[in-house]
Amino acid sequence: VMDQPVESREETSKYTDTLANGTSRKWTWEMDAKSVITSPSPQAPITHGAGPLVITGLAWSGRGAITGVDVSLDGGKNWQQARLAAPGADKALTRFYLDIDWDGSEMLLQSRARDASGYVQPSKAQLREVRGLN
């Protein structure tokens, strides 16, 4: 146990963000709002034809409680508000659901979380504009 950062390979490779201009932001401790769709997925594919479908996933934030999650079926062109399984708790996983009547067509699913600080999870492209490719 140490009383200060050690700057070992593990610390510098895991908690440093290289920015687009080549400089690095060191010691990234606060986690931004994030979300992931867990179903459907390659590991949990849709096994029925058109009809009712529940899209579900998890959201979390190191900035505070999750206050909402939006889901896109078309790669971010249009968004629908998902329902939270329960009110978000501070810095905890929050399950979300979106009930749709699926027409059987291909979907490009994305989710974005919002937290109590007002932070909204950016798209990958938006994040890369700020932090670069790393």
| DSSP per-residue string spanning 66-94 | EEEEEEESBTTSS-EEPEESS---TT--E
Helix (H, G, I), strand (E, B) or coil at 131: helix
Taking residues 108-122, what's their average pLDDT? 96
Q: Is the pLDDT reported for residue 132 higher than 80? A: no
- Closest alpha carbon to 62 in 95, 29, 87: 29
Q: Which pLDDT does position 128 carry in this prediction? A: 81
User: Are 33 and 60 in contact, with CB atoms under 8 Å apart?
Assistant: yes
- pLDDT at residue 134 in the model: 59
- pLDDT at residue number 30: 73
pTM: 0.80
Distance of CA 101 to the CA centre of its chain: 24
pLDDT for 23 equals 79
pLDDT tens-digit map of 28-46:
667 889 999 999 999 999 9
Strands (E), 1-134: 16-18, 24-26, 34-39, 51-60, 66-72, 80-81, 83-84, 94-102, 110-115
Sign of CA dihedral 35, 78, 68, 18: positive
Rounded to an integer, the average pLDDT of 9-21 is 71
Instruction: Give the mean pLDDT of the chain.
Output: 89
Highest mean pLDDT among 5-19, 50-64, 118-132: 50-64
